[in-house]
Amino acid sequence: MDDFEDTREIHLEEPTDRADRPEITELSQKGYLCLKEKKYEEALDFFRKILHIEPENNYALVGIGDAARKQGKYEEAIQFYETCLKYHPANSYALFGLADCYKGIRNYGKAIELWIQYLHHDPNNVTVLTRIADAYRKVKNLQKSKEMYERVLEIEKDNPYALIGLGHLYFDFKEYDKALHYWERMIQAHPDSIDIRLLTSIGNCFRKMKAYRRGIEYFSRALEKEKDNFYALFGLADCYRGLNQHEESLTYWNRILEKDPQNKVILTRVGDAFRAMGKIAQAEEFYRKALNIEFDAYAVLGLALIAKEKGRFQEALESLEQFRKTDPKNARLYVEIADCYLRMGEKEKALAVVSAALKGGIHNTHLTELFEKLHREVKES
């Protein structure tokens, strides 16, 4: 999900008249006007003409770098920014563009290094500070990211990028209450700038905290802004699933399928909803639809659970073993395998499965309780 990184630009100052080379000033001004209008090829023509006259011109080198960067041609842009810095080591605009290129190719360490150099020229630039914070968040450095966002908030009390960034930072580390604090502060500080992504992010926080009704509130607000938004529809469906309101959840799963009928994850969720409602034929139909598109472990699990409920224990075990190959650390899987053996009257095999799971480092309250119960019963028999 898009997470609101600060993508604001730092623009090069308008070229000023040069009495010695007025044609360069004119070409620079035309080139930067084309950049603003996203006429990149025209901008490049003007900047190349400048380099023909003056090969080390900083406006032209940065301008060509910017044109390439804005088109996602990061490697090409890097060459021009580095050339500019070779001739003009203190050029902060080349530093900024170069850092953004390294961010674009996901070399966050290099990007951070360059942005920190930029801060030597302008230590309180919130655009650069939020970029550094965003990059530290990408590399999972909680403390450094937090420090940078908080530094932004010291300069600009309710900076939206810092508030949103801190929310995502805490969300990434599963500290949902802290994430909510910053996102709700964002809504209070900027009520006219509430983006659909912010609403779905808050909804996801409540969903992760199992506060499903609060999640429904925010996902519904998001749908009012964009009626077919995937994240809002998914969030609503999953919240209703959490509340065991499976008919309601089906409404939203089906709305996703109207737009994306080949989505195997959603097909499996529809199968789960029908199974929970006791509509086994429909559940099997959707699990098989998912598997016809591509292997899906949870569709296999769904079919295994149906087979188990129908008393086809060997078939269920085969499917559960297939699932285990893709998700060997799933605690529920071992509970279901053990339950199959118990229904087949093979208590010792059930105990062996649970025991092997616990020895393999798979810890779960239900699994531990089941082991203790089976161990006691086998010992007494």
> Exposure of 80 by Cβ count < 10 A (0-12 exposed, 13-18 middle, 19+ buried)?
buried
> Exposure of 247 by Cβ count < 10 A (0-12 exposed, 13-18 middle, 19+ buried)?
exposed
Please give the model's pTM, rounded to 2 decimal places.
Answer: 0.81
DSSP state of 156: S
Give the number of other Cβ atoms within 10 Å of residue 108's Cβ.
19
Q: In the chain, what is the straight-line distance between the N-terminal and C-terminal CA atoms, in Å? A: 54
CATH 1.10.10.60 at 1-123, yes or no: no
Q: How far is CA 297 from CA 239, 288, 293, 326, 369, in A?
A: 22, 12, 12, 7, 26
Q: How far apart are CA 108 and CA 90, in angstroms?
A: 22
3-state secondary structure of 139: coil
Q: How far apart are CA 330 and CA 79, in angstroms?
A: 48
Continuous segment of H or E residues that includes residue 14 = none
C-beta separation of 239 from 219 below 8 A? yes
Per-residue pLDDT tens listing for the chain (381 residues): 445 566 666 655 554 444 457 889 999 999 999 999 999 999 999 999 999 999 999 999 999 999 999 999 999 999 999 999 999 998 999 999 999 999 999 999 999 999 999 999 899 999 999 999 999 999 999 999 999 999 999 999 999 999 999 999 999 999 999 999 999 999 999 998 889 999 999 999 999 999 999 999 999 999 999 999 999 999 999 999 999 999 999 999 999 999 999 999 999 999 999 999 999 999 999 999 999 999 998 999 999 999 999 999 999 999 998 888 888 999 989 999 999 999 999 999 999 999 999 999 998 888 999 999 998 888 877
Q: How far apart are CA 72 and CA 66, in angstroms?
A: 10
Domain extent listing, the chain: 1-123, 339-381
Continuous segment of H or E residues that includes residue 56 = none
